[in-house]
Structure 1
Amino acid sequence: MGIPEAKMQQFLASLLSSKLPAHFIYHNFEHALYVTKKAEEIARHEHCTEEEITLIRTAGLWHDAGCIVVYNGHEEESCRLAQQYLPQFDFSANDIEIICGMIMATKVPQSPTNKLEEILADADLEYLGTNTAAEKAVDLFKELQSLTPSLTQAEWNKMQINFLQNHQYFTSYCKEKKEHLKQAYLKELIAASE
């Protein structure tokens, strides 16, 4: 882990901007940076070491990179890309295995198996417990609609309600700081769809 993260970020930004479709307005480099920032924030509250934080930040950056290849099941492709490119940034095979575990933990339904995986899973959906949840949901809806033009707003609202009712945060930080806002957003969605 010797090469500065800025070089890896620059490499990934270039890869995504050249290969991601323009209509990916949710799964893009900005989302990767957001998740990376939130993952570090959660990791610090969960008392992770600096080495763990480096791995968590790296997993956050790469977790949706596979969208350049495939949309559904992109987590597997994200791992493949991480295995392909991370050695050039001085990550060991063991580091990459840990990173891939975190990436796979973001796959819905989420099923993290350790603390680092819980942190990245929560960081990926942290926005559900923020005041910008509705705004980000609009971007995700537009992105999904570009892939499935028949998707209606009513169907999307139903999907969101079902998803939120079944979603759970794993880290104590998100349970304490994000769950109440997520529940408020869910109430708004239910009220709007009645």
Structure 2
Amino acid sequence: MQNSLLIDAARDYVTAQYQQHPRPDLVYHNLEHTHQVVQAASQIAAHYRLQDDELLAVYIAAWFHDAGYLYGPGNQHEENGAKEALHFLQQQQVAENVQQMVQGAIMATKMPQSPKNLVEQIVCDADLFHLGSATYSTRNKLLRQEVALTHEQEIPATQWLAGNIRFLTEHHYWTDYARTLQKQQKEENIEKLKKKLEKKNKEAQDSAAAVVPAAGSAPATATEKVKEKKLKKPERGVETMFRITSTNHIRLSSMADSKAHIMISVNSIIISFMLTVLVRRLEDYPNMIIPAIIFLTTSVTTVIFSVLATRPNVTSGTFTKNDIAKKDANLLFFGNFYKMQLEEYQWGMKQMMEDSDFLYSSMTKDVYYLGVVLGHKYRLLRISYNIFMFGLIASVLAFVIAAIFFPVKA
């Protein structure tokens, strides 16, 4: 069964289980949460180059990671969920290595989390992805409500806030992607919890003089709003966006170079073989001259375009004060400053760092031109691969036609 069909089957199976085993008290660990974890797992997994079996294990584990709540006590839901996932996978006759990966990923989400490989890390981060999201406050309220329903007791607000602060502070994401993407929002969530706890403690301490805080509450609230706005400055989010985008572009550039290297290596071997072995035999097999020429031309042309895709383009390496004044120089790219003196470059960087518009403009240009270079590389690579593919087909057909219709006479 194809992986996409297996994933759809897992979704339908888990959805049916939630419908057949209704748990009104599960206001947090419900089907909505499962959908959110699957979506987060998909987002994180897309960042990494997983094998098909690994990607399948991530999706299946995400669907079943909390299904154990339907079959027993909450403190054993990982074990029960892993058993149910194994039962499903065995029914679908899925490979044993996938079964092991799915069980390992579900068990790795047990607190404290203990992932041992990338598949388990992705599922663990997806399970707690909301800790670094703007929906944390809403999800946290639902979790508190569920704890109160399942344990039939209300947890004091100060105790709940202190526990959440401790949990978020000690928690860390396992994948680089989640750490980079969720760090800023997670820190903001911690700050909000600390403010709430501070407010609750102050209310408890000043309960005997409740009128005084009420009279002075407006300034305090205004101050908190100002601080909150400062914490929500867009700069960190923008810098995270630039960092992730640049990293993705560099990774794609590395992949393009690897693809070009494959084409160069393969066709260099073909050309070497053609020149050292096949050419010597053409006198005995004149009918193979045209197919050999087609084959050789294909390999040479493929190598040319692959080399063009990886050939570096060096720019002038200098900038002027007029460029800085007009904000035209991108000092983040080495090609614009490698011929400059250190003092001049330091001066230019200082000017850029003192002007946020200039700084973000330079970062935008850097990302843009990285994309332009990537587009040029992949366009040449596509031509190279097309030439190799169609040329190889034409060469094989030419050899077959020459051997069948124009055989060498004895």
**Normalised by the size of structure 1, how large is the TM-score?**
0.94
Alignment of 1:83-162 (within 5 A): 83-148=86-151, 149-162=153-166
1:4 Cα offset (Å): 3.9
CA distance in 1, matches of 2:148, 2:180: 33
Aligned to 2:176, which of 172, 178, 189?
A: 172
The answer as to whether partners of 2:54 and 2:101 remain within 8 angstroms in 1 is no
The 4+ residue runs of structure 1 with deviation greater than 4 A are: none
AA matched with 1:76: E
Which sections of structure 2, spanning at least 5 residues, go unmatched?
199-410
Give the secondary-structure state (helix, strand or coil) at the position aligned to 1:31: helix
Computing the radius of gyration from Cα coordinates, the structure with the larger value is: 2
AA matched with 2:58: I
CA distance in 2, matches of 1:164, 1:58: 27
* 1:193 aligned residue: 197
* 1:16 aligned residue: 18
Alignment of 1:65-80 (within 5 A): 65-68=67-70, 69-80=72-83
CA distance in 1, matches of 2:67, 2:98: 18
CA distance in 2, matches of 1:143, 1:135: 13
RMSD: 1.4
The answer as to whether partners of 1:129 and 1:178 remain within 8 angstroms in 2 is yes
The answer as to whether partners of 2:68 and 2:84 remain within 8 angstroms in 1 is yes
**Normalised by the size of structure 2, how large is the TM-score?**
0.46
Change (3 A) 1:44 1:74: same
The answer as to whether partners of 1:37 and 1:57 remain within 8 angstroms in 2 is no
The answer as to whether partners of 1:20 and 1:67 remain within 8 angstroms in 2 is no
Change (3 A) 1:128 1:86: same
* 1:45 aligned residue: 47
Higher helix share: 2
Deviates more, 1:161-170 or 1:39-48: 39-48
**Structure 1 vs Structure 2: percent identity of aligned residues?**
30
CA offsets, 1:76-98, max 9 Å, x none? 11111112222223322221111
Matched, 1:28 2:11: no
1:18 Cα offset (Å): 1.9
The answer as to whether partners of 2:54 and 2:98 remain within 8 angstroms in 1 is no
The answer as to whether partners of 1:70 and 1:77 remain within 8 angstroms in 2 is no
CA distance in 1, matches of 2:144, 2:154: 12
CA distance in 1, matches of 2:20, 2:139: 23
Which sections of structure 1, spanning at least 5 residues, go unmatched?
none
1:5 Cα offset (Å): 2.4
The answer as to whether partners of 1:36 and 1:60 remain within 8 angstroms in 2 is yes
Alignment of 1:58-69 (within 5 A): 58-68=60-70, 69=72
1:24 Cα offset (Å): 0.4
AA matched with 1:58: I
The answer as to whether partners of 1:8 and 1:89 remain within 8 angstroms in 2 is no
Q: Which has the higher contact order (CA 8 A, sep 6+)?
A: 1
